[in-house]
Amino acid sequence: VMCCCGPCAMYRRSALLLLLDEYETQLFRGRPSDFGEDRHLTILMLNAGFRTEYVPEAIAATVVPNTMAAYLRQQLRWARSTFRDTLLALRLLPGLDRYLTLDVIGQNLGPLLLAISVLTGLAQLALTATVPWSTILMIASMTMVRCGVAAF
C-alpha cells in the first residue's frame, strides 16, 4: 500500500530508526510539515527498499470526522499530502503493482481533470446559457472509473 494510515500502522524499530531523522525534519515549501506524516513515512520506507503489507485481520480504532466541515478539512489535508508526497514516490512507480500505479496516477490526475471539467462547464453555462451536458457526462464517467478501480 502507498499509505499506511497512522493508527493502523506498525513498523520495525530498526527500519524506523534508519529513517527517523529524515522523517522528523519533513518540510513543505521550506516550513516544517505537520500533515500527511503517515503517507510520508510510508513513502520513505518504500524509497528505502522496505515493503508494506496489508493485513486484513488487523484491528485498530481511530477517530473519524462527524461533521461535514471536519470531513472537508480532513480531505484537504489528505489531498495536500498526496500531491506533496507523489513527488517523492515518482521513482517508485515503475516497480509498483499496476493497481497501485493506477491509483497514484488517479489520485493526482483525477482532481486536476475534475477542476478542468467544472471550469469548462461553468464557462459554457456563462457564455452560452446552455446546459454543459458534456461536462456532466465527463464528471459522471470519471466518478464511475474511480469507483470501478476502487471496487476492483
The CA R_g of the chain, rounded to the nearest whole Å, is 19
| Mean per-residue pLDDT of the chain | 82
- The whole-number pLDDT of residue 135 equals 85
Chain position carrying cell 520506507: 45
pLDDT at position 126 over 90 = yes
Q: Report how far residue 64's alpha carbon sits from residue 62's, in angstroms, rounded to the nearest whole number.
A: 7
What confidence tens digit (pLDDT) does each residue in 60-91 have?
A: 788 889 999 998 888 888 877 777 777 777 77
Through-space distance between the first and last CA atoms of the chain, rounded to whole angstroms:
15
Q: Report how far residue 23's alpha carbon sits from residue 25's, in angstroms, rounded to the nearest whole number.
A: 6
pLDDT at position 36 over 90 = no
Chain position carrying cell 480504532: 61
Q: What ranges do the domains of the chain cover?
A: 1-95, 97-151
C-alpha of 114 from chain center: 15
SS3 32: strand
Residue 23 is inside which H or E element, if any?
A: helix 13-24
Mean pLDDT score, 24-31: 74
Q: Report how far residue 152's alpha carbon sits from residue 144's, in angstroms, rounded to the nearest whole number.
A: 12
Is pTM, for the whole model, over 0.85?
A: no
Q: Report how far residue 103's alpha carbon sits from residue 2's, in angstroms, rounded to the nearest whole number.
A: 9
Closest CA to 42 of 2, 71, 78: 2
Burial annotation 24-33 (CB, 10 A radius, 16+ → b, else e): eebeeeeeeb
- The whole-number pLDDT of residue 39 equals 82
User: Which of the two residues, 33 and 43, has the higher pLDDT score?
Assistant: 43
Mean pLDDT score, 15-31: 81
